[in-house]
Structure 1
């Protein structure tokens, strides 16, 4: 299956973001991509909006989902996209939506782990999700949805694998800073290695973010990667055969012994 991470630099201009996303989708379609993953905040960069974010999310989220659905249907491509979903209050959800190749919404995941770290507080303006981690079938694969800071919580990824995920999708706006690029690459490879699963990571390249989108195989090999460019497509082919090969050599999922009762 051909997959791709679409890298862009979202702004506070919703229309401009849509134009960039549409171009990415069309380029991916030209490369026969079956599943495209877009970064966190692909809909809208929250920092700098001139109206309350909660109000903006209530007004714009439904139209964003409809827009992505239309692109998916028109191009025959499954798309994973992220943005701000309105709530009844002032703080929206940071939500990932999964659309299949027919343009049908198959799942949405509201970010569980908000980025309250490195002197930043996402929870000041976002409502945390209260659901379980989400696995969705797209383009013939069982895809586990991960949103940025979630990457630092291996138990979430393991839950996705236990639900049957064979491909991990990461949408992120990974903020720059000392060691942050190293953490990003290390954590992506670690999640793939410990899960013996393919991973597709789309990183925002907005001014404070690192970009660095990539596709990682089940043995932790980075198959294709971008740098900090503000626009790009990291496309590669994932295969169940490669997953099966790695899981024979490295059967960590079978070898687990946690939650095993031992009689003395």
Structure 2
């Protein structure tokens, strides 16, 4: 299955961010991708007041993403914000396209490194997978990467690939942690991981609030053996890559960590 990892820097205007979604989805489709993955917070970047711009899954922003996916004939996965109780929002992944209509609400909220996502965001609770071109694909978001049980749950649900849209906070050691964690999750669950981060705003000449998780780039496709197969640097870019799902069976036969679990 050919997939596209779309590493972008989004701004505070949801309508403007749709322009990037439209253009990069078209480019991914032209390259033969069946699936194009955008980062967490594609709808609007962190550091924006989220509640006033949050929309339901049948609202205009998600509806336009559906139109874009349908016109291109590909599945699009993109981060948005939906309304939640108590004036909060939910950090949601929209997955839409031919034969696919689903959403995942981020389970593990980023209350770390001086940022408190739970102050404005309500946590999800459900493990979600989708089917793309006959392949089961798990959905996760950013801070979820620190919780290996979610990726094992994807594998238990039949996933051969996990998608990880992110807006990874910068800071000392954070790039090393990102690269270590995305490789570890592939090994934990012996599946492919497509980790798609926001591009580093500095690479686009933009300034952000220091503690805001605005992204560092370095999106990557990780094989089920934990090796980095393809990667981007810090700047915006579109990575087109092929995922051979038969590798999952070979790796699981050689290193059957899922079958050998005792807990």
Q: What TM-score comes out, normalization by structure 2 length?
A: 0.90
1:236 pairs with 2:212: no
Structure 1 position 253, deviation (Å)? 1.6
Retained in 2: the 8 A contact 1:211–1:228? yes
Q: CA separation in 2, counterparts of 1:109 and 1:92?
A: 13
Q: CA separation in 2, counterparts of 1:150 and 1:191?
A: 10
Structure 2 unaligned residues grouped into runs of 5+: 202-213
Any residues of structure 2 matched to 1:89-168 within 5 Å, and which? 89-101=86-98, 104-105=100-101, 107-129=102-124, 131-168=125-162
- Choose from 55, 64, 68 the match for 1:58: 55
Which residue of structure 2 lines up, in the alignment, with residue 195 of structure 1? 189
1:249 pairs with 2:243: no
Structure 1 position 59, deviation (Å)? 7.4
Provide, for residues 225-250 of structure 1, a one-character-per-residue CA deviation record: whole Å limited to 9, x for no partner: 00110x21122111122222212222
Structure 1 position 13, deviation (Å)? 1.8
SS at match of 1:190: helix
Structure 1: 4+ residue segments shifted above 3 A: 58-61
Retained in 2: the 8 A contact 1:61–1:83? no
Which residue of structure 1 lines up, in the alignment, with residue 207 of structure 2? none
Q: CA separation in 2, counterparts of 1:54 and 1:86?
A: 7
Provide, for residues 202-259 of structure 1, a one-character-per-residue CA deviation record: whole Å limited to 9, x for no partner: 1012533201111111111111100110x2112211112222221222222222222x
Q: CA separation in 1, counterparts of 2:18 and 2:97?
A: 18
What is the root-mean-square deviation in Å for CA atoms of aligned residues? 1.6
Retained in 2: the 8 A contact 1:5–1:36? yes
Any residues of structure 2 matched to 1:47-86 within 5 Å, and which? 47-49=47-49, 53-58=50-55, 62-86=59-83
Structure 1 position 171, deviation (Å)? 0.7
Retained in 2: the 8 A contact 1:37–1:202? yes
Distance 1:13 1:158, change over 3 A: same
Structure 1 unaligned residues grouped into runs of 5+: 259-264
Distance 1:209 1:61, change over 3 A: farther
Structure 1 position 113, deviation (Å)? 0.7
Retained in 2: the 8 A contact 1:78–1:99? yes
Structure 1 position 88, deviation (Å)? 4.3
Aligned residues: 251
